[in-house]
Chain A
Amino acid sequence: MAKIIDDETIENVCILAKLSLNEEAKEKAKEDMQKMLDYVEKLDELDTKGVEPLSHIFGDQNVFREDVVTNGDNKEAMLANAPKAKEGQYQVPKTIG
């Protein structure tokens, strides 16, 4: 059986996703996540012994670019996306490392 999404799991997922949910939303999220896990559990029926984990479905390999500067100063256009900017920088809530 799939992992049971209990209160502790949903709390932890909220912390990792930086979400604060009220009780009602939490219950709803628990239900949804449980459904997803149950659905994916179907895959466990397959025998995958000896099958290499697949990370990419296309056969592409070695897609490179050469080390040449192609971008100029995009500051104005980039900062236009920011909710708040100050002195050419993105302004965010106080964050200390």
Chain B
Amino acid sequence: MKQYETVIGLEVHVELATKTKIFCGCSTEFGGAPNTHTCPVCTGMPGSLPVLNRQVVEFALKAGIAANCQINQYCKFDRKNYFYPDNPQNYQISQLYLPICHDGWVEIETSAGNKKVRIHEMHMEEDAGKLIHDEWEDCSLVDYNRSGVPLIEIVSEPDMRSSEEVIAYLEKLRCMMQYLGVSDCKLQEGSMRADVNLSVREVGSESFGTRTEMKNLNSFKAIARAIEGERERQIELIEEGRTVIQETRRWDDNKESSHAMRSKEDAKDYRYFPDPDLPPIHISDAWIQKIRESQPELREEKLLRYQSEYELSAYDAGILTESRHLSLLFEEVAKLCGNPKKAANWFMGEVLRLTKDKGLDVEKVSFTPKHLSDLISMVEKKEVSAQNAKKVFERVFEEDINPVAYIEEHGLKIVEDTGLLNDTLQKIMDENPGPLEELLGGKEKVFGFFVGKMMRELKGKASPDAVREALVKEVERRKNQ
């Protein structure tokens, strides 16, 4: 069989994290009761007029600048006309002729090394409503809460060659958007959606094969499976001497197969034209400069800084910067306790372990940074045992308790007070005359027995070192009596 190469380009839709919709003052909050976030504008009532949300332009600029794009300083909106019940205006307001950002690139990491994926363009547009099929009455029901939620569509060049590269690209975009605060990029909630354009060609061929577009991909795993499935389907067609038809296909992840959505007869004819309701946008040099200056530290920069400034390993730095949310929490703890390495150990160990054990989303991890830094300081000062500190941290992680007060209240603080140590020792020796005789007789083995009893009795309030020291002294004293 011939060797084939897969050629993939992506159209990624990202829902922007604005408080309101792109053209009206309705809330964008996810999960509201149907149609509670709607108004005449986002339901396409005649005579209503859209007014652009400034934040949408800012977010699009932030994303474009981070992805090394050129900015169209003069840009405008166009109408994309089509009839569908989820689109109440009968047109979607989008950008065709002058998208806000174009010609950029992002770098992805793959097992074969780093690679640049070029960005063809990024444009602003509005989302559509949601259609639900009603089995009972055999009709469809529409919820317009999502109608008018701002999106940016990020169109890549056909630069990817495998599902691994596609996933790396999507992860890169997601991480970038989350760091910029532009979108939370949750695939399950649909705030990040990807359409895959795929064609195959013989290895060495310069020209592209006929491509298909695949929709309905809502997890990274589904995307990987859909790519494998579509690659095989196209190769099979070519091997059988048939041709690939340019069409839109819908992936069914349960059946692990796709089917054609739109036939060639009603090929796309959206009759785009400039939206007369929305005046053009002029983005000044000063505006771009202001955005550049306010860009947050992105992951790549953080990775390097963690290694140079905090002296962390590349591996630890990589894990700690995967989520911006977690990295900011870590930085705060590191700053407060003045010991980034110890703080990193706590995050790599306890924080991530508990997150995994509790099946929690890392973005939802939340506790007062000072609570962990206090705990770290207490361990360093030997005021609490490492083992007890871990137990206390579980409560910090779950309920954000104040660890200093908790340790105090539950008597977990290591006591310098030798009085308590001696009293406990006397009590244990009195209770165990047999082993005591053996100990005084020089049986080393029994030493551990007493240390264990002491530790249990003191519940970690004394360090093992202090207990051992007290025991040795007491044995010496009794021997010399």
Q: Which residues of A contact B (CB under 8 A)?
A: 12, 15-16, 18, 55-56, 58, 60-71, 73-75, 78-79, 81, 86-97
- Docked Cα-Cα span, A53 to B392, in Å, equals 68
Q: How far is the CA of A95 from the CA of B140 in the complex (A)?
A: 6
Tell me, in angstroms, the Cα distance from A74 to B26 when the chains sit together. 10
Q: Which B residue sits closest to A79, measured CB to CB?
A: B35
Which residues from B are CB-within-8-Å of A73? Answer: 36-37
B113 within 8 A of partner (CB): no
Give the 4 A-B residue pairs with the shortest CB-CB distance, closest first: A70-B25, A55-B274, A89-B141, A67-B55
Chain A residues closer than 8 Å to B40, beta-carbon distance: 78
Specify the chain A residue showing the minimal Cβ separation from B18: A67
Taken together as a complex, chains A and B put the C-alpha atoms of A71 and B19 apart, in Å, by 12
Chain B 122-142 interface 0/1 with A at a Cβ cutoff of 8 Å (1 = within) = 000000000111100111111
Complex interface: stretch among B99-107, B275-283, B317-325, B420-428: B275-283
A57 nearest in chain B by CB position: B276
Given A56-B279, A88-B33, check contact A64 B140 (CB 8 Å).
Answer: no
Give the dominant DSSP class at A's interface. Answer: loop
B54 on the interface (CB 8 Å rule)? yes
**Selected contact of B19 from candidates A67, A78, A90, CB within 8 Å:** A67
Q: Which residues of A contact B43 (CB under 8 A)?
A: 78, 81
A97 touches B18 (CB 8 A): no
Given A67-B18, A71-B25, A18 contacting B274 (CB threshold 8 A): no
B190 at the interface (CB under 8 A from A): no
**CA A60 to CA B134, docked complex, whole Å:** 45
24 chain-A/chain-B pairs, Cβ below 8 angstroms: A16-B269, A16-B271, A62-B279, A63-B52, A64-B54, A65-B54, A66-B53, A66-B55, A67-B53, A68-B19, A70-B25, A71-B26, A71-B39, A74-B36, A74-B38, A86-B141, A89-B141, A90-B144, A91-B134, A91-B140, A92-B139, A93-B139, A95-B84, A97-B131
CB of B142 within 8 A of CB of A92, answer yes
Check B85 against A95 for contact (C-beta < 8 Å): yes
Partner of A60, one of B24, B38, B279: B279
Nearest to A59 among chain B residues (CB) is B279
In the bound complex, CA of A22 to CA of B274 (Å): 32
Cα-based distance from A45 to B413 in the complex (angstroms):
93
* Contact B52 A68, beta carbon cutoff 8 Å: no
Residue B51 at the chain A interface, CB threshold 8 Å: yes
Enumerate chain B interface residues (CB-CB to A < 8 A): 18-20, 24-27, 33-40, 43, 45, 51-55, 57, 76, 81, 83-85, 131-134, 137-144, 250, 261, 266, 269, 271, 274, 276, 278-282
Residue of A nearest to B74 (CB): A61
- Shortest distance from the beta carbon of A83 to any chain B beta carbon, whole Å: 12
User: B232 to nearest A CB, angstroms?
Assistant: 25
A88-B35 contact given A64-B51, A78-B43, A93-B139, CB 8 Å threshold? yes
Kindly state the separation between the CA atoms of A97 and B129 in the bound complex, as whole angstroms. Answer: 13
Chain B residues near A96 (CB, 8 Å)? Answer: 133, 140
Q: Do A92 and B85 contact each other (CB < 8 Å), given the known contacts A71-B39, A78-B38?
A: yes
**A64 contacts across to B, CB distance below 8 A:** 51-54, 57
CA distance A88 to B142 in the complex (A): 9
B140 to A94, Cβ gap below 8 A?
Answer: yes
Contact A74 B39 (CB under 8 A): yes
Whether B134 contacts A86 by the Cβ 8 Å rule is yes
Does A61 lie within 8 Å of B279, measured CB to CB?
yes
